[in-house]
Amino acid sequence: MFVHRFALPVAVWGALVCVAAVAASGCGGAFGSDGPTATATSTPRPTATPTPEAPDLTIFRGFLFPLAGACLPESDALMPNAPREYRGGVHEGVDFYGYDNCTEIVADTTVLAPKDGIVVRSDLDYTDLTEEELAAANERIANGGANDFDIIDLFRGRQVWIDHGKGIITRYAHLSGIAEGITEGARVAAGQPVAYVGDSGTPESLSNPGQETHLHWELRVGETFLGAALPPAEVREIYGRVFEPLD
């Protein structure tokens, strides 16, 4: 299948190809083997190098925004791979706030599935962050544990994860609630309500409820997130293509 480059910069194209390969089978395995190896007792015969099949980059297109009428934020600080100096890490998703995303976003705004998929996590039994949990987390952060998975997961609050196949999972965090029928193993369709915007897991949910109401949305590919290690302009270019409709 022929896949054009969508007129992307070379560096962005290369990143997408690698991520597409990871989603399929790993960057190395996506481009064929090295061919036969000569031995001391045989004369190697010329072999044709197989033409590698182009990774299917359409897996990164045709997503709906997870909020009706939304757009990408203008601030790079709300985009993937933005520095998070307070914990010596980076932001792994897109933050959708009401002031920078083309639509009204308030508590309990409906969150939508961006593509068909299967629910693989649904925090139906979530309990709100407590002062004791926050204090314990802050102590671990002070001792260098800011980027431990369970610490980051704690601060993401109530979550839903959807598996879209080919190694792609979307995550929805800080939710106020989960839509009816969104249980682990449930199939969802693009545009279907899956949850509601909130501020769960944020320290502000204790100190100033409502101040950090927003949706944190991640597009995961294998063990990483789309846009990892790329500069802001390239991240924005990639995510702009993610939300373009398929031809």
**Mean pLDDT over all residues of the chain?**
83
96, exposed or middle or buried, with CB in 10 Å at 0-12, 13-18, 19+? buried
pLDDT at residue 155 greater than cutoff 60: yes
Residue 60: predicted pLDDT = 83
User: In this model, does residue 29 exceed pLDDT 70?
Assistant: no
245 — pLDDT class (breaks 50, 70, 90): confident
Q: What is the pLDDT of residue 6?
A: 42
pLDDT surpasses 70 at 131: yes
Residue 59: the pLDDT is 78
Q: Which residues contact 245 (CB under 8 A, 6 or more apart)?
A: 61, 62
Residue with more model confidence, 65 or 27:
65
Predicted confidence band at 3 (pLDDT cuts at 50, 70, 90)?
A: very low
d(CA 181, CA 7): 41
Whether the per-residue pLDDT at 144 is higher than 70: the answer is yes
Q: Which residues of 105-136 are buried (b: 16+ CB within 10 A; e: fewer)?
A: beeebebbbbbebebeebbeeeeebeeeebee
Kindly tell me if the per-residue pLDDT of 39 is higher than 70. no
Q: How far is C-alpha 12 from the chain's CA centre? A: 17
State the amino acid at position 157 in one-letter form: G
84 confidence band (pLDDT: 50, 70, 90): confident
3-state secondary structure 34-87: CCCCCCCCCCCCCCCCCCCCCCCHHHHCCCCCCCCCCCCCCCHHHCCCCEEHHH
Question: Which tokens go with 88?
Answer: 């010596």
Query: CA dist 94 to 65, 66, 126, 138, 225, Å?
Result: 11, 11, 22, 24, 11
More confident residue, 6 or 204: 204
For residues 16-22, average pLDDT? 55
- Whether residue 53 is predicted with pLDDT greater than 50 in this model: the reply is yes
End-to-end Cα spacing for the chain: 14
Q: How sure is the predictor about 38, in pLDDT bands with cuts at 50, 70 and 90? A: very low
Mean pLDDT, range 161-177, rounded to an integer: 97
